Copies of this chain bind each other. A is one copy, B any other.
Amino acid sequence: MAQALWANDRCFVISVEVAGVGTICRVVWRGHVQEMSELDPLARDAFMDVVFGVEAVLRGLARPAKMNVASLGNLVPHLHWHVIPRYRDDAYFPDAIWAPARREGVEQPLSRPILSAALETGLGKQTKPLL
């Protein structure tokens, strides 16, 4: 597991480098829950506040053509959201990043310290860091 960039008592945010795209984020729920509709509405809204807060941070830093947000988890049935900045010259645009690549793709990496600082500005101070 990559070191978290931001965390509170319910969820944490990591970054992942996707070939042909660049840096994306994942927001992972700490509790072992499979489906969003199993969460109580307050917990669900708090989780989505973080997901859409990460979206806003990535929009500000990466200036993507579009944001993609997805909860799949077919392999790992534990709630997590992919928050993905998309670019017209990434390997998959305009398809989903799970489709076959259309081109080599220009990767847009984001600096981890800058991303971490922007998350703390956008989401507030993390309240329960992972280790």
CA distance A35 to B55 in the complex (A): 9
CA distance A86 to B48 in the complex (A): 22
Which residues of A77-119 are within 8 A (CB) of B? 77, 86, 93-96, 98-100
- Contact A72–B59 (Cβ < 8 Å): no
Give the chain B neighbours of A86 by CB distance below 8 A: 74
Count residues on chain A whose CB falls below 8 Å from chain B CBs.
Answer: 34
Give the chain B neighbours of A45 by CB distance below 8 A: 45, 48
Q: Chain B's nearest CB lies how many Å from the CB of A90? A: 10
Is A73 part of the contact surface with B, judged by Cβ < 8 Å?
A: yes
Q: Which B-chain residue is minimally distant from A39 (CB atoms)?
A: B52
Contact of A94 among B34, B36, B69, B75 (CB under 8 A): B75
